[in-house]
Every structure is written in C-alpha cells, then in structure tokens.
A and B are shown apart, each in its own frame.
Chain A
Amino acid sequence: MSQITKIIKREYKTRVRKKSFIIMTLLGPLLFVMFYALVFGIVYYIANEKEDVVQIALVNNSSIITTFPDSMKGGGLLITQQTNYLDTALALLSRGEVDGVLQIKNKGLFENQELTFISNENIGVKTTDEIKESVKEYIDNKKQDMLHISASKLDSLNSKVLLLTKKYENKNITDNNTKVAGFVGMAFTFLTYFFVFAFAVQVMRGVMEEKSNRIVEVLVSVVRPFDLMMGKIIGIALVGFTQLFIWVLLTGIFALIGSVAMASLDISQIANTNMPPRAGLAGLMTQISPMLLSFTHLPWPKIFITFLLFFVGGYLLYSAIFAAIGSAIDAETDIQQFMLPITLPLILGLIIGQSIAFSSGNSTIAIVASMVPFTSPAVMVVRACLNAPWWQIIVSAILLYGTFILMVFITSKIYRIAILTFGKKPTWKQLFKWMLSKSI
C-alpha cells in the first residue's frame, strides 16, 4: 500500500467513525424531511385551525343580497346584528358588542361586489376567505336562479387562460421546463456550494490540527508533504461522497415513504371533490401537479454528470487552496483573514447560479461564470439543468481540472514550507514568497 493510500485510509476511517459524522449522516435527511414536515404541518394547521366564532354587525346596503345567512360558510363568522347605518354598527363595535363590522355596498348582480370589513384587530386570511366565499356563493346562486343554468355552466362562464410554453429545438417541439429546471438548478448549486465549502474547510482544519498539535514534524519525516496533502484531500473527499451517498439513499427512502403517504392522502381528498370522470391516473397527475411531469423531462443524465464533475472538481480546487491556508496558520483567529477572500468567488458563483436559475442560462455573465474555474462549480450545474450544450460543459470541466492541477503545484509549495513554520502569523506577501521559492 502506498503512503498516500495509508493516509487516505486514516483520514477516512477516523472521520467516518466520528459521532458527529454518524449523527449528521443519519439525521441529515431526517432533518430535511422533518423540516418539510414541519412546514407542511404549519400550513395544514393554519388552514384547519378552528378560530373563535367572530360576531359581526352587518351593514347591508345591497339591494341584491337580501337574506344573507346568519353564520358564514365556514361557521367561524356569526352575524349577530343587522343595520342599514354604518355609524350604528361602529357604535356596537366600539362598545365591544361585536368583533367586526361588515359593510356590503349596493352593486348590481353582474357587477363586482364590494365589501368592507372593519375590526379592532388585524383580520386573518381565513376570515376574509370565508366572507368572500360566502358572498360569492350567494351571488352565484342568485345568478343561477336568474339565468336558469346549472352550476357547471355558470362556472364555465369564468374564462380561464392557460399558457403553455414549448421549445422548438432540432425541429422538435419539446416542453419548456424553465421553472422546474430553475428550482432543480438552485437546489444543485446550493448543494455544490455547501459540500465544497463544508469539506474544503474540513481539509483546512485537518491540516491546522496536524500543525498546531505538532504531529506534522514526525509525519513529514516519514511521508512527503505532497502525499500528506493529497492523502488528506482525497480522504476527506471520500468522506463527503459517503455522506452524500447515504443522504441520497436515505432521502430517497424517506421521499418514497412520504410520497406514498401523501399520494394516498391527496387521492382520498381529491376523490371527495368534483373531479371530472375522464381523468385517469395520468390526467390526475396532470391536474395535481403539472410540474411533476416537467420534472421528469429534465436532462437528468446531463445534470448528474455535470454535478459530479463540478462537485468533485470544485472540491479538489478549493480544498487544495484551503490546505495551503491551513498549513500557514497556527491559530483559529487567523482563519478569517484568509478565508474570506478565498470563499468570495465561490459565494459569487452561488449568487450567479441562483440568479440565472429562472432565465435561459445563456446570458454572457452566465456563460463566463460557468467557465471561470472558481465560480464554475456553482454555476455550471444550473446551466446543465437549463440544458447547456455539452461542449461548454466539457470545456469548463477541462478548465476546472487544469486549474486544480496548477493549484496543487502552487499550494503544495506553500504547504511544505508553511507546515513547518511555527509561531509566525503569515501575510499574503509571505505566502506569495513561499509560492515562488525554489526549494525548502
């Protein structure tokens, strides 16, 4: 076994056995799922929350709405007083005899109805929805009676406009999935940024640990500094892949369980609504979420290959730089001085990646940022989701890996000198000098 393999093995073994790694690996997807469950739960709770019955005074100036129901559609509103004068109703409100005043203005049946709700406190969306729904239902019924038509015909009178966007490419008309692609791109760019940053920082801290606890002197007497640096970079990369792999696997399992549960819930709920009988499963899916279909139409092989290429390349590039920085500093307090200028391009890449996610991805800034090796790991994956041409992905990958090789050559020079320099806070000038030095 070569020295570098032994170092990779140690780096990998010690890290994957850490409690923090095991906990984060197992809990990561669970935390994601729990987060979304929490969001879903909150939304569900708000939607179904039983509010206290609000007593209102109705000021009905409408000549059409004559027999307004005492309790509104959801049962949360109760009309306890009726008057034709707003002042009278407001007096009731100020005395606390009612919680709110609902004024219905006099409008024609085929005009937009105007309602005003006055209360002492802010009014919730649920309450306004209830009022609107109740009035709409009342007006619809009136219209139905007057026009002698069915509810479905009345519904069909409301014209709805549906705009489908298609793409004409290579004499084929395909679905344009910009919106879905944008979301997927954003997720991937964030994932790339997160992993590159998190694991490159681990490399830096690992190097710092070896330097600050002085084990490095013994290590470099047995192993070449280059092997030590590369062993650490590759070892930690494998830890990252392991974590990513387990996360994907567990998220897949959780998502499967979740989607089965959600599907059964949705279908049972939908079954109670007035769904057209023609639907079938495909139709049902189209009705539930047309985005799901767009999702399946994304260029997944291209996305996955690009993600892997640029995630690995980005990690290698940044971890080589971070390793050199870790070798130069002794104290935690010196980290910020070097970290910020180095992480800025990656953050810039993330910002550009997020901002182009809902565009065509072919703007000059998008193309340039996806070619520059310091920003391309975060940007190219978004462009891959937007179906960037293969040749651009390949050129960018060559540039990224080429820069990595150049960077290893430069940073290993800094590393082998800096790792044995103790008790001196380095400056950028010093790092540059080490970079140019011929030997140590």
Chain B
Amino acid sequence: MLEIKNISKTYESKQAVKNISFQIPEGSIFGLLGPNGAGKTTLLRIINRIINADEGAVLFNKHPMTDKDLAQIGYLPEERGLYKKMKIKEQLSYFASLRNFEKADTEITRWLKKFDLLDWANKNVEDLSKGMQQKVQFINAVLHRPKFLILDEPFSGFDPVNAELVLQEIKSLKANGTTILYSTHQMESVEKMCDYMVMINNAEKVLDGTIPQIKNQFKTNTWLLGFDNFLNPESLDKKMKFSHQQDDIYIYKYSNISNVKNWINDLTLKYQNLIFLQEDLPSINDIFIKMAKPTA
C-alpha cells in the first residue's frame, strides 16, 4: 500500500529523519513507535506531503505519491484542533469538500449518529466538551472513507469508554480494508492492535517487523513455570529462580535454556506439580524502553 524508500530530512543543522525505509502492507495496522523527538511527526508530515523529504521517495500503491493521492488519505494529527466558531456539520462538510468527497451529508449523519453527536450537529465546536471535540476530529479523519489512514495518538483525550469506542471503529475500518498507520506511545495498544511495527530512535529506524518477530528478537531464552505450591529452594535447579506469586500460583523463571525440547521433557518428569509453562517474551513496552534509552 505504502512504501517509504530511503527518506532523509534535515532541519537547519538537525537531522530529523535518516535514511528510513519500510513497507506498510495493504489492510494492516502498522505501528510507528519512537520516543519524543525521534522523527515520527516529520515522517508523518512527509507521508502527507506537508513537507518535502531531502532524499528518498514515498510510493503510494506502487507509484510515487502525488497531491491527487491525498484525497485517499485520512490524517488525525497529534496536535489537532477545529474551528471553534464553526458548526460541527459545516466543519465536517468543509473538510470533506476539500478532500473532494461528494457524499458528505449521508456520511456525516451516519458518523455523528455512531458517536452520539447527532443532536450537536448544528452547534459550534466551542459548545462541545473536549471528549466530544476529539470524536469530531476522529470523524473528520475518516469521513471521506480513506484507503490509508494516519492516526497520531488517536486515543489521547478520550475516557476509557470512548477510547474503546474509537478502538472498535479502528478495527472495523481495518476489517473494511483500510490500511492504518498508527503512531503512539501506548505500547499496550500496539500489542493489541498492530500487525506490524517500526520503531525509530534518534532519526533512525531501529526495529521493523511483525509483533511476534520483534518479540522473538528480544527473547532471552527464559521461561515461566507455575506451581501450585512453594518449592523447596534446595530442590531447584541452578538456573531456576522464584519470580512472584499470582493468586495461589507460585511462578518461577528458568533462564538460559539451550535445548528447549529436552528441557521440557526433563522438567515434566522432575516436577509433578507443574501447572503451566510459558516462554517469557518481552513486552513491546520493555523493548521500547530498552531501545529508546539514551546511549551513554
């Protein structure tokens, strides 16, 4: 759907993006991660053609992206706003017309109904609560049925109920074939939602792949073992250590396993009261912290 090819961008003396490349497959939710100042916003602005890259290209459906393609893109920036003294319906119509979307009226009614905002259609934005305004901004990004949707921190400002509502809508958009580029700091949501992710740090790409692929890159050959009673410390293997208790289950960590298959066979023979066995994969949050940590 979208291909970023060797994009670089420098502002005055600061390099904001350095030779970044990745591909976003059609119909996927693609996570864009990185600490503050890593270059995410610059990259999103280059994709949107708000600013130009110094080097590299953005391919949209395998052709170099042009202004015409912008009508097929939806963008919900992190720094977002609305015209305070303009009516909601008029505002949504205005943006739809700027994107050359003709069936705006029906679509506006459908979305306002979905987000319980229909009664507010003819009210000025300044009369709405912050949460309501966030919903209008989300509608504004998706109203014209974009094929490619860029969401930069879409859940910020939402309470848990509305965040869930938006999450369901994002999933629904994906189910209907929309490709989504999701930029965030919320690692939990990345694990829940994304098929692929890329992480940039200090203007460079540091990670790229599917979520399981990335997790596998950072696994430490450590497994978690659950027992229904506390084990005598003297009976434990040297590589095995008590980790924590979760309800009535005592969890132990076993590290540095060379041959997993043999180890599991030995384990089941040795410990009759073993309840569960699970590989201890790092969370995306752990990986993020590890990768984003400033180098000494």
- Residues of A in contact with B (beta carbons under 8 Å apart): 1, 3, 6, 10, 14, 18, 209-210, 213-215, 217-224, 420, 422, 433, 439-440
> In angstroms, how far is the closest chain B Cβ from the Cβ of A239?
15
Q: Which of B67-110 contact A (CB under 8 A)?
A: 67, 70, 73, 75-77, 79-86, 94-95, 97-99
A7: nearest chain-B partner, CB-CB: B98
Which residue in A14, A214, A221, A422 is a CB contact (below 8 Å) of B50?
Answer: A221
> Contact at B80–A214, with CB atoms within 8 Å?
yes
> In angstroms, how far is the closest chain A Cβ from the Cβ of B77?
4
> Contact at A3–B98, with CB atoms within 8 Å?
yes
> Contact at A215–B82, with CB atoms within 8 Å?
yes
A6 to B99, CA, bound (A): 11
Chain A residues whose CB sits within 8 angstroms of the CB of B95 once the complex forms: 218, 222
> Contact at B85–A218, with CB atoms within 8 Å?
no
- Residues of B in contact with A (beta carbons under 8 Å apart): 12, 45, 48-52, 54, 67, 70, 73, 75-77, 79-86, 94-95, 97-99, 140-141
Chain B residues whose CB sits within 8 angstroms of the CB of A10 once the complex forms: 94
> In angstroms, how far is the closest chain A Cβ from the Cβ of B60?
14
> Contact at A218–B86, with CB atoms within 8 Å?
no
Which residue in B52, B54, B98 is a CB contact (below 8 Å) of A222?
Answer: B98
> Contact at A221–B48, with CB atoms within 8 Å?
yes
Q: Is the interface of A mostly helix, strand, loop or mixed?
A: helix
> Contact at A222–B84, with CB atoms within 8 Å?
no
A224 to B52, CA, bound (A): 12
> Contact at B79–A223, with CB atoms within 8 Å?
no
> Contact at B82–A213, with CB atoms within 8 Å?
yes
Chain A residues whose CB sits within 8 angstroms of the CB of B79 once the complex forms: 214, 217, 422
When A3-B98, A6-B98 are in contact, do A217 and B50 touch as well, CB less than 8 Å? yes
> Contact at A222–B99, with CB atoms within 8 Å?
yes
Closest 5 CB pairs of A and B: A214-B81, A213-B81, A217-B77, A215-B81, A221-B48
What are 15 sample pairs from A and B whose C-beta atoms fall under 8 A apart? A1-B97, A18-B85, A210-B83, A213-B84, A214-B77, A215-B83, A217-B50, A217-B79, A220-B50, A222-B98, A223-B98, A420-B45, A422-B79, A439-B52, A439-B54
Chain B residues whose CB sits within 8 angstroms of the CB of A224 once the complex forms: 67
When A3-B98, A6-B94, A10-B94 are in contact, do A215 and B80 touch as well, CB less than 8 Å? yes
> Contact at B86–A14, with CB atoms within 8 Å?
yes
B11: nearest chain-A partner, CB-CB: A440
B152: nearest chain-A partner, CB-CB: A217
A223: nearest chain-B partner, CB-CB: B98
Chain A residues whose CB sits within 8 angstroms of the CB of B85 once the complex forms: 14, 18
> In angstroms, how far is the closest chain B Cβ from the Cβ of A437?
9
Counting chain B CB atoms within 10 Å of each CB, the highest count among A3, A217, A220, A223 belongs to A217
> Contact at A221–B70, with CB atoms within 8 Å?
yes
> In angstroms, how far is the closest chain A Cβ from the Cβ of B10?
11
Chain A residues whose CB sits within 8 angstroms of the CB of B86 once the complex forms: 14
Which residue in B51, B67, B70 is a CB contact (below 8 Å) of A440?
Answer: B51
Chain B residues whose CB sits within 8 angstroms of the CB of A218 once the complex forms: 75-77, 80, 95, 140-141
A217 to B140, CA, bound (A): 13
B45: nearest chain-A partner, CB-CB: A420
A222 to B97, CA, bound (A): 10
A3 to B86, CA, bound (A): 19
A223 to B45, CA, bound (A): 13
Chain B residues whose CB sits within 8 angstroms of the CB of A439 once the complex forms: 52, 54
Chain A residues whose CB sits within 8 angstroms of the CB of B54 once the complex forms: 439
> In angstroms, how far is the closest chain A Cβ from the Cβ of B83?
6
B54: nearest chain-A partner, CB-CB: A439
B70: nearest chain-A partner, CB-CB: A222
A422: nearest chain-B partner, CB-CB: B79
Counting chain A CB atoms within 10 Å of each CB, the highest count among B77, B81, B82 belongs to B81
Which residue in A213, A217, A222 is a CB contact (below 8 Å) of B83?
Answer: A213
Chain B residues whose CB sits within 8 angstroms of the CB of A213 once the complex forms: 81-84
Chain B residues whose CB sits within 8 angstroms of the CB of A6 once the complex forms: 94, 97-98
A439: nearest chain-B partner, CB-CB: B52
Can you name 14 extra interface pairs (CB under 8 A) apart from A214-B81, A217-B75, A222-B70? A14-B86, A213-B83, A215-B83, A217-B77, A218-B76, A218-B80, A218-B140, A221-B49, A222-B95, A222-B99, A223-B98, A422-B79, A439-B54, A440-B52
> Contact at B52–A217, with CB atoms within 8 Å?
no
> In angstroms, how far is the closest chain A Cβ from the Cβ of B87?
10
Chain B residues whose CB sits within 8 angstroms of the CB of A219 once the complex forms: 98
A219 to B48, CA, bound (A): 11
A187 to B238, CA, bound (A): 97
> Contact at A420–B81, with CB atoms within 8 Å?
no
Chain A residues whose CB sits within 8 angstroms of the CB of B49 once the complex forms: 221
> In angstroms, how far is the closest chain B Cβ from the Cβ of A299?
44
> In angstroms, how far is the closest chain A Cβ from the Cβ of B2?
15
A55 to B146, CA, bound (A): 92
B82: nearest chain-A partner, CB-CB: A215
A222 to B72, CA, bound (A): 10
A220 to B95, CA, bound (A): 11
A214 to B153, CA, bound (A): 15
A433 to B11, CA, bound (A): 12
> In angstroms, how far is the closest chain A Cβ from the Cβ of B180?
16
Counting chain B CB atoms within 10 Å of each CB, the highest count among A14, A222, A223 belongs to A222
> Contact at B73–A221, with CB atoms within 8 Å?
yes
> In angstroms, how far is the closest chain B Cβ from the Cβ of A229?
14
> In angstroms, how far is the closest chain B Cβ from the Cβ of A218?
6
When A6-B94, A218-B95, A222-B99 are in contact, do A420 and B82 touch as well, CB less than 8 Å? no
Chain B residues whose CB sits within 8 angstroms of the CB of A18 once the complex forms: 85
> In angstroms, how far is the closest chain A Cβ from the Cβ of B46?
10
A1 to B102, CA, bound (A): 12
Chain A residues whose CB sits within 8 angstroms of the CB of B12 once the complex forms: 433
When A215-B80, A218-B140 are in contact, do A420 and B98 touch as well, CB less than 8 Å? no
> In angstroms, how far is the closest chain B Cβ from the Cβ of A32?
28
> In angstroms, how far is the closest chain A Cβ from the Cβ of B66?
12
> In angstroms, how far is the closest chain B Cβ from the Cβ of A231?
10
A6 to B93, CA, bound (A): 11
A74 to B30, CA, bound (A): 96
Chain A residues whose CB sits within 8 angstroms of the CB of B97 once the complex forms: 1, 6
> In angstroms, how far is the closest chain A Cβ from the Cβ of B285?
28
Chain B residues whose CB sits within 8 angstroms of the CB of A217 once the complex forms: 50, 75, 77, 79-80
A18: nearest chain-B partner, CB-CB: B85
A421: nearest chain-B partner, CB-CB: B11
